[in-house]
Chain A
Amino acid sequence: MIWKVFLFLLLSFVLIAGIAFPIVNKPSLWYEFPFIKGLGQNAKIIFFHVPTAWLTVIAFLMSTIYSIKYLRKKNLDDDAKSYSAAQLGIIFCILATITGSVWSKFAWGSFWNWDPRQTSIFALLLIYGAWFALRSAIEQEEKRATLSAVYAIIAFITVPFFIFIMPRIMTGLHPGSADDTNAGPVVSFKMNSNMQLIFYLSLTGFTILYFWMWRLGYKSIILLTKFQLKDQNKQL
């Protein structure tokens, strides 16, 4: 219970600080953020956009790991864990896409530019979408678990290709990408210490939130199937 209160306070603080703390040219007070060339006031999105994108990737990774685990042990609990991770993954993926494209409207002038990162997150959305479409098409639990696990692994190994080819095919506008001349690698150099602190607090808070939701998710899936099984046995 105590850590739920802690998580609530942490996220509230991040929310207030991230939105309310001013961005000034020469930060001197503890609550002031520095002005980053090319980002300006828009820089604040980093506290909410980056954690969602980070969790999209974490969720995909965990979903794949539990898929591999399922194929090795054939334990349906692992499938529930993989499914729960992917459910959160697609939510965070949509959030990252929306926050990103809102930001890009103000920074780059349009909602969608086919920047390498936008294309990559679009590809991730497609993978998640295809994965859920596959799952909903299969009735039988074990078959669904096996086939979706195989598909998750195949999809996972194609992701590195996007990282390599995207920058070659389209020029990057996204802060932190190789051809970005304004902001450069944002996180390490241009942020001052209090901005970094809020950023990492936000990252921690969102990650704890993710794991909490993930545990709730897979436990409820396992409980649900157990109840369904009991009902079936009663009818027999």
Chain B
Amino acid sequence: MKSYYLFSKDYHSEIRTRYAINSLIMFIIVAVSVILFSIGNERVPGNLTAGLYWVVIFFSAMSGLGRAFISEEERGTSMTLQLIASPSTVLSGKIIFNLILVFAMNIVITFIYSILFEEFVIQNYILFIINFILGNIGLAVSATIISAIIAKAGSKGTLYPVLSFPILLPLILTSAKLTLFSIDGTSINDAVFELAIVACYDVIMVSASYMLFDFIWKD
């Protein structure tokens, strides 16, 4: 419950300042239109749309998810949080916030994407949704812990995608593959290995984050 109220604090703050939301929406629009412009009138094969889908997701995530901790550090309120909550509460609150943001963001991206790309037709909806959920969890958790590192490193926002990319690469590669499977209509039985990898990634990232966050959070 404590972490829910921490999330609620961030949510109300976001409603008031609209920092993450505005830049996130603009970023999605920019990223999608850059891809559309560069494609022109060409027909894009299905496997390319799956990859491009995750390119848009990655860059949009990089523009919005870093705010979780950077905003606290910029305003100097990290110490205040330290005085009112235990490290695990702080991390949980921020992960909840980023989870909601990632899910909202990716629903919007998927919606825009399926309207604009004719080849982006999902055959296996269940596989797509399982991958969507697992992939988003991994993305949100990794983005949160990297955001904590970046914030303590002195809010160097430019470093955020640099540090996140190697960490997110296995997740993005596997999720892109699974998205391709769901476009091809591969059955879930054939995709169990990839699904297991994404699930493992989520579990390992969550446990590593909770184990290492104390070191990051306490100066």
Contacts and interface: CB of A to CB of B under 8 A. Distances in A.
Interface of A: 71, 123, 126-127, 129-130, 133-134, 137-139, 143, 146-147, 149-151, 153-155, 157-158, 161-162, 164-165, 168-169
Contacts of B154: 137-139
B161 to A, nearest CB: 10
B153 A161 contact: no
Contact of A137 (B156, B171, B174, B194): B156
Nearest to A142: B219
Given A137-B154, A147-B153, A150-B216, A168 B194 contact: yes
B149 interface: yes
Given A71-B215, A146-B215, A154-B212, A123 B152 contact: no
Nearest to A138: B153
A85 B170 CA distance: 24
16 contacts: A130-B163, A134-B153, A137-B156, A137-B159, A138-B153, A138-B154, A150-B212, A150-B215, A151-B163, A153-B212, A154-B212, A155-B166, A155-B167, A161-B171, A165-B197, A169-B173
B216 A147 contact: yes
A161 B166 contact: no
Interface residues of B, number: 30
B211 to A, nearest CB: 9
SS of B interface (majority) = helix
B163 A133 contact: yes
A151 B142 CA distance: 11
B149 A151 contact: yes
Contacts of B152: 143, 147
A147 B215 CA distance: 8
Contacts of A126: 165-166, 169
B145 A154 contact: yes
Contacts of A168: 177, 193-194
SS of A interface (majority) = helix
Interface of B: 145-146, 149, 152-154, 156, 159, 162-163, 165-167, 169-171, 173-174, 177, 193-194, 197, 200-201, 204, 208, 212, 215-216, 219
A164 B197 CA distance: 8
Nearest to B212: A150
A161 B215 contact: no
Contact of B159 (A127, A133, A154, A155): A133
Nearest to B164: A130
A133 B163 CA distance: 8
Contacts of B212: 71, 150, 153-154
Contacts of A138: 153-154
